[in-house]
Chains A and B, each alone.
Chain A
């Protein structure tokens, strides 16, 4: 099994078609929506995680392209500078996915990258600038 994160860009004329239905039904991929901005008649954006066999993921991507949806690998992540972090917890006030949360025993800030949506709200919420966004290929 393989897991990848992608950002999909829907052209306006495609936002009303059951694309995700086919993705799951025809290619047997497990599909997790991390972030979605889709409105009828507008260009949409969907950040997803796909899990499936190597072959099914490959076929699902071909289908996506043929369907007229552009995609690129999701290539950003949030990094925390542990040396700068003072474990205050201000970032946990805005984190929508609980990726940043306080350990209620030690009151140390935990960061669970798997849950992170890279919404970047924590960057401006951090009073000591210990959180940054990292771009990678």
Chain B
């Protein structure tokens, strides 16, 4: 009873498509069984809304008169990349303001643009025969820009380790504030609603997949950086998947800051909460088996962040059901757990995506190329140059 993307799109066009979120599908499968659920439901929506540091936007400012080849660029005092053509730049989420430090960064510039605010652009140049101007100091708005598109090299982490701290000092990390002596555990996932935990073998998600990206319709552009497909057996029926990531692209002018929020982690720096929804077509029963996964079967590692090493020790494996319960046991002690990604807003995104598919506003796009099955995760060789 395999269904093709085109058959499902036809149902979307004629309004007969049946859509469920990745949370709803768990109960549907429980009630009707895999076979019947796969027959009845055509699309399952997944979503996530978590902090994703590897995010940023390409911008084209248009030319001033006389024109300038921008070499050094600041947006609200946050440095932007000056190594592209004359008036192109890339502003990264984690770049910090030169005047306000960690409270304002590239992520905030992007959010201010999305919110329609004026952003101060300062650029300097060495001047060329073709671009004589040496300086510009002006204001821009999103509307004025020729192009502004989010291009995030690594988002939608399939699975991320939970964090704790065995040292005697408080640690301020991108996983939040970690209290000493394993005082807490933080984790970042939407678990059973998470895109790449619902299609862990990447059977339907690939390059070209149309996605919900911060309120706009965006696309998967490429494998994410550090992409790797890790599979680890927990027991006979349970596999722990991790490592897959996605590079995503979408029009900043169509985005909404409800789903694209600048953030600042204490003593770490700035980052961006990115809202992403991915529709997964129920192409066959095997796909439905993956989609029916629930938090009790999804596992991650609890990692000790106090060890200043690339490979930090894993203290134990834990299911997302246990993490979601509010506390887990660690070395015989009950430790409180706290999420970092907003499940509430991820649910909102999964429901929005579901509605736009039901209304015929969002069609599925079959990948133009699958994501790689084989990739290794290379470390940086630290050669002593001097």
B-contacting residues of A (Cβ < 8 Å)? 86-90, 92-94, 101-102, 104, 106-108, 121, 124-125, 127-129
- Interface residue from A102, A108, A121, A127 paired with B265 (Cβ < 8 Å): A127
**Chain B interface residue bracket vs A:** 20 to 34
- Contact (Cβ within 8 A) B339 A86: no
Shortest Cβ-Cβ A-B pairs, 7 listed:
A93-B338, A127-B263, A89-B339, A107-B343, A87-B344, A107-B344, A124-B266
Question: How many angstroms from the CA of A104 to the CA of B338 in the assembled complex?
Answer: 11
Question: How many angstroms from the CA of A88 to the CA of B186 in the assembled complex?
Answer: 11
- Contact (Cβ within 8 A) A127 B271: yes
- Contact (Cβ within 8 A) A125 B266: yes
- Interface residue from B184, B262, B273 paired with A88 (Cβ < 8 Å): B273
B51 contacts the other chain (CB 8 A): yes
- Contact (Cβ within 8 A) A86 B261: yes
Question: How many angstroms from the CA of A104 to the CA of B263 in the assembled complex?
Answer: 24
Write the chain B residue with the least CB distance to A87.
B344
- Interface residue from A121, A127, A129 paired with B51 (Cβ < 8 Å): A127
Q: Give B145-174 as 1s and 0s: 1 = Cβ < 8 Å from A's Cβ atoms.
A: 000000000000000000000000000100
Q: Which of B267-326 contact A (CB under 8 A)?
A: 271, 273, 324-326
Would you call the interface of chain B mostly helix, strand, loop, or mixed?
strand
Give chain A nearest CB distance to B81 CB in angstroms. 24
Give chain A nearest CB distance to B18 CB in angstroms. 25
- Contact (Cβ within 8 A) B49 A89: no
Q: Chain A residues near B266: list those with CB within 8 A.
A: 124-125
Most buried by B among A94, A121, A124, A128: A94
Write the chain A residue with the least CB distance to B325.
A104
Most buried by A among B176, B179, B261: B176
Give chain A nearest CB distance to B257 CB in angstroms. 11
Would you call the interface of chain A mostly helix, strand, loop, or mixed?
loop
Question: How many angstroms from the CA of A63 to the CA of B325 in the assembled complex?
Answer: 46
Q: Chain A residues near B338: list those with CB within 8 A.
A: 89-90, 92-93, 102
- Contact (Cβ within 8 A) B186 A86: no
Q: Chain A residues near B178: list those with CB within 8 A.
A: 93
Question: How many angstroms from the CA of A101 to the CA of B325 in the assembled complex?
Answer: 12
A-B contacts besides A94-B177, A106-B344, A127-B176, 8 pairs, CB < 8 Å:
A87-B345, A89-B339, A93-B184, A93-B186, A104-B325, A107-B347, A124-B172, A128-B263
Give chain B nearest CB distance to A119 CB in angstroms. 12
Give chain B nearest CB distance to A74 CB in angstroms. 24
Question: How many angstroms from the CA of A104 to the CA of B49 in the assembled complex?
Answer: 17
Give chain A nearest CB distance to B104 CB in angstroms. 10
Q: Give B323-337 as 1s and 0s: 1 = Cβ < 8 Å from A's Cβ atoms.
A: 011100000000010
Q: What are 21 of the A-B contact pairs (CB < 8 Å)?
A: A87-B342, A88-B339, A88-B340, A88-B341, A89-B339, A90-B186, A90-B338, A90-B340, A93-B179, A93-B184, A93-B186, A94-B179, A102-B338, A102-B339, A104-B324, A107-B343, A124-B172, A125-B176, A127-B271, A127-B340, A128-B262
Q: Chain B residues near A90: list those with CB within 8 A.
A: 176-177, 186, 338-340
- Contact (Cβ within 8 A) B261 A128: yes
Give chain B nearest CB distance to A89 CB in angstroms. 4
Write the chain B residue with the least CB distance to A84.
B261
- Contact (Cβ within 8 A) A86 B179: no
Give chain A nearest CB distance to B296 CB in angstroms. 15
Q: Chain B residues near A104: list those with CB within 8 A.
A: 324-326
Q: Chain A residues near B172: list those with CB within 8 A.
A: 124
Question: How many angstroms from the CA of A87 to the CA of B339 in the assembled complex?
Answer: 9
Q: Which of B243-261 contact A (CB under 8 A)?
A: 261
- Contact (Cβ within 8 A) B177 A93: yes
